[in-house]
Amino acid sequence: MNLTQGDRLVTKYEAEFLRLSQYARRLVANDYEKSVCFEEGLRYDIKVLIALQREWVFIALVDKEKITREFKRTEREKRDREKSQNEKKRKELAARVEPIARAGPIARAEQVPICGYCSRRHMGECWRRTRACFRCGVVGHKISECLLMVEPRRAPV
């Protein structure tokens, strides 16, 4: 017999196998031959799982396949449930963590607000508005007069 399970459920495959085995009594004369022929037609993924048990009683073989299929289904459901729980936890964690805006090159541009006075992105008070030095932030001098910009003079050698 060249019957294979294909995409069918085992119950459908079993019913078709039993129906056709009536016409091939010489091939499936006893339980052993029936079990061997039935197992050969099973899908590979199922065959691998039940091959270790080597059941040669036809009804027991069918029962073990049903148990195997149920086990695989529950494992798949468990894996899907864990996956959805992990996604939910990841979303909850992402919602709790807010990005921290920092001044300087570390901060992302979209995290630093646009100033309403000078239309540039920066944190805190606008130095252009307070007329503070753009180098040190101190009010009272410009960047060109800033002491931080002046290089220390070397003594003559």
Given CA atoms 62, 63, 66, 72 in this order, what sign does their dihedral have? negative
Q: What is the spatial distance between Cα 144 and Cα 135, in angstroms, rounded to a whole number?
A: 9
Beta carbons of 51 and 45 less than 8 angstroms apart: no
Q: What is the pLDDT along the chain (157 residues), one digit of tens a residue?
A: 678 878 888 788 888 888 888 887 777 777 777 877 887 888 887 777 766 666 566 677 777 777 778 888 888 898 998 888 888 888 777 776 555 554 555 556 567 888 888 888 888 888 888 888 888 888 888 888 887 766 555 555 5
For residue 90, being part of any structural domain is answered with yes
**Residue 110 DSSP SS3:** helix
What total of structural domains would you count in the chain?
Answer: 2
- Closest by CA to 35, choosing from 52, 60, 12, is 60
Task: Tell whether 56 and 121 lie within a shared domain.
Answer: no
Task: Tell whether 117 and 59 lie within a shared domain.
Answer: no
**Residue 31 DSSP SS3:** helix
Task: Tell whether 114 and 130 lie within a shared domain.
Answer: yes
pTM metric for this prediction: 0.35
